[in-house]
Structure 1
Amino acid sequence: MSTTTDAPPRVAALPAAAPARGPLPGSLRRTAALAGAEGRMLRRNRTALFTALALPVGFVALVASVAGARLATPTGAAGAVNLLLGVLLLMVVFYNVLSAAVARREEGVLQRLRTGEAADEEVLTAMAVPSAALTVAIAAVFGVAGAVALDMPLPGRPLLLALAVVLGCAVMALLALVTAAFTRTLESAQITSLPVIAVCGLGAGLFVPADALPGALARVAGFTPLAPVVELVRAGWIGDPSAADVAVWTATLLAWVLLGSLVVRARFRWSPRS
């Protein structure tokens, strides 16, 4: 995710005061510093923060009042977590990263960051870290609170759940950066985000049950970005998925990661468009 044609040439960075002990520690240090700055910006964005924090509270109250005893079953727990995780990935990761990318670009921040020491990958990763971390934290709190207060069972295969969350965050962050390339202003992000939210939500069964879709459409929906996340979460609680099924779901998510990375590398814009 590094090269575009509309960005100015890089300016040579000043020598560091102390040489890094290796490329990985230096890269992690720069990414962490940029992610910390993005986290502070997220905390100052009252609308985004309210949505991210109020959403799970309202969701827990709604689920507790509607689902009732069904939450105590693996099927009910998996359905509740899938619904919450799907909304978090779309509204906290995807939309927040999209808004941040467009806002930083139009303010000239991304252009200035490219003249410094941080690599393009570090800048773009840092934009996604706060939203992804918030999503993981909210999902974890919901799982613990559900087990304590709502008698939700714990997942039998937590590694599948962790895989779903990590790859889901990566896919939605990359989709946000791809969408940002075609979004001219922060206000127009409300429009350009709709097709992605609609396709992902429909494919994952967030709006209507996946089995209610026609046969051909249901097969295509299985390869949309959030559908494998839903399957991995469900497999973490119920069923005994075969290695082949897990491989297909994982490969689908990795394919989206690869495709998103290639499109971002080719199309992402670093200079203001408006």
Structure 2
Amino acid sequence: MAYLEVRDLRKTFDGTEVLKGVSFSLEKGKVLAVVGSSGNGKTTLLRCLNALETADGGSVFICGEKIFPAGTGEKNGKDKKNEAGIGAETDETANEKTCEKTEEKTDSDELDFTLVFQNFQLFPQYTALRNVSLAADLYEIKRLKAMKMPFSERRKRKKEIKAKNAGAAKKLLEKVGLSEKFNAYPCELSGGQQQRVAIARALALQPKILCFDEPTSALDPRLTGEISSLINELKAEGRTMIVVTHEMEFAKSVADDVLFLHEGRVEESGSAAEAFANPKSEIFRAFVEGGKTK
């Protein structure tokens, strides 16, 4: 069983079909590069997975649990809870064991997906530290409000949540090399530093799958190499990631698998090493060799 499985995902805007039945799967701990020319549905795919857009059709499974459309109760295989897995085994049996182990978790705070936006989308009025801790605060406090408890206890818990998340945010900023920028505002940070804050913010929500939309588009070559190294560090930790990019060398440096979208459809997919070395589709071959398609 694949960790992530997407089936026949479709999305239309104003009569224009952008995603025309996109299907793919991804094993836990792997990095998928989604490549293709502009306007072929790459970002729309990420936005649908992250519930920033609602797909018109199709389904999404994580560990066999159908997370889209929500509330249907349909399972892909065994009856499983929609909670995150631990581990990075890749064969079918190992993935089933991974998913089964996650059923033992009864208080998971993990989201299915989080997204690192192309233009970072940091809050300009907040410091780097607050940008990272804010979403986690809001997420946990929202859950807290649903619990029945005295006001004084809730207020105490809120303070504890904020203190915990601030500590976690500091560790994440240290992890991405920004230990001296806790109190810096976005306007005081370089593009590469803002990118790292955005990555730390996405990690703060403990996603099952971390998504990047063109993470190197606003960076110079040196910073592109740094982001490549950071993504590979996250992969070494067992993170499952989807990276949308138009830069082939960057895709080759981070991806285990590749998904090539052309006119809203999957034109080619498979092992990144094999696909880039020996493209089966002439359209993909032209894209790899020339960096663009007609």
Q: Considering the TM-score relative to the shorter chain, is it more than 0.5?
A: no
Greater strand share, 1 or 2? 2
Q: TM-score, normalised by structure 1?
A: 0.28
Q: TM-score, normalised by structure 2?
A: 0.27
Greater RCO, CA 8 A, separation 6+: 1
